[in-house]
Structure 1
Amino acid sequence: MSDLYIKLAQHPVINSERLILRPMTLDDTNALFELTSDLETAKYVSNIHRSLNDAADYIVTKFLNAPLGQFAIEEKLTGKMIGSVSYNRIDSLMKTAEIGYMLNRHYWNKGYMTETLKTMLEYGFEKFEFNSLMAVFDKNNIASRKVILKSGLKYLFEDPYSRKDFIDPQKNVTDVFYRLTKDEYFHPE
């Protein structure tokens, strides 16, 4: 087992100023359904969930099946689960990962996602010792681009025809890739 996974297991809960990043549970089914059944929230990041059972199934397959590096985003003030964030596609040999996230649209424009992403970068480089962290988003997702830029990731490239749209399978998506290396994080220009 990789040292990276041991470090991830040692930090199942991460705190930031206004948020708690904690393991997702089946108790989060209603809150996740609120996110993933809303077209505005889910259109760039997830298939639309049409039932609580769809949301529960997603929690089990995405968060409970392999929980290391997978977090629910909970607002400290209210205790409400308002989103999710995770280290995806972890390569323990190269110590790289992709950070994926989604946030309930009722919590947009409050700086929560930027706070979350900066916290994931901080823990990723300082505690988990990743060499490189990447974020990928649909080119049309302007809000995600703003979050990524505020968080300090650097543009890499665009990948036209990288996948089909989550909502409209007839539509092709251009994904945009941003990355930050440990050298860039510890020695910013």
Structure 2
Amino acid sequence: MRTTKLPTIELSLVTLRSIQKKDFKDFFEFGKDKETTEFLTWGPFKTLKDAKTMLKYIYFKRQQRNEPIGYAIVSKETSKMIGTIEYHTFNHKGNSCEIGYVLHKDYWKKGIMTEALQKVTQIGFEVLDLDKLVIKHLRENIGSKKVILKNGYKLVAIYEKQHFHTKTGQYHDVFVYEHWKK
């Protein structure tokens, strides 16, 4: 990986820019919503402090490991952060990582995440010089599945009953996709 500095990207409805500490209020706003965070391993947030703590100990800790913090998805209309998309769980020997994302439910079905994932995939290969990107989702998360497939990721595994989701109290199937540098 050559750099951890992410370029700012202008998309049709949003801007992708590095997450900043001041984003904690916006992060809380969408992170407190039960439906928005339904399939995530975190949330919903109960307090502003929850959002601040997650930014500090999850996103900004990545700098210590020489990894990019992640992108804030910022609405051009409101200038608020309405989601995140980030690189995580780096495998430095395999020159790969996972991509994770969340978008406030008020912005679903507008093509925002499909366009954001397209750019983040491109940046992962061209700027971060990674060889492989991985995305996972729970079987029930059909919206995420559609975004992943539209961006050319290939299903490589289905792990049945692999993830215990504390929100549902049940085990869920995990779908794993990969995209390789051309």
Which has the larger share of helix? 1
Residue type of the alignment partner of 1:81: M
Matches within 5 A, 1:11-160: 11-45=6-40, 46-67=42-63, 68-160=68-160
Deviations 1:78-128, CA, capped at 9 Å, x for gaps: 311010011111122321011000000011011000011000111111222
Q: Is the 8 A contact 1:95 1:132 kept in 2?
A: yes
Q: Is the 8 A contact 2:19 2:69 kept in 1?
A: no
Give the drift of 1:40: 0.7
- TM-score, with structure 2 as normaliser: 0.90
- TM-score, with structure 1 as normaliser: 0.87
Within the alignment, does 1:172 sit opposite 2:168 as a pair? no
Q: Is the 8 A contact 1:39 1:48 kept in 2?
A: yes
CA distance in 1 between counterparts of 2:166 and 2:87 reads 20
CA distance in 1 between counterparts of 2:56 and 2:166 reads 20
Aligned residues: 177
Please provide the CA RMSD for this pair.
1.6
CA distance in 2 between counterparts of 1:66 and 1:125 reads 19
Unaligned runs of 5+ in 1: 184-189
Instruction: Tell me what 1:186 maps to.
Output: none
Q: Is the 8 A contact 1:48 1:167 kept in 2?
A: no
Give the drift of 1:12: 4.8
Q: Is the 8 A contact 1:22 1:73 kept in 2?
A: yes
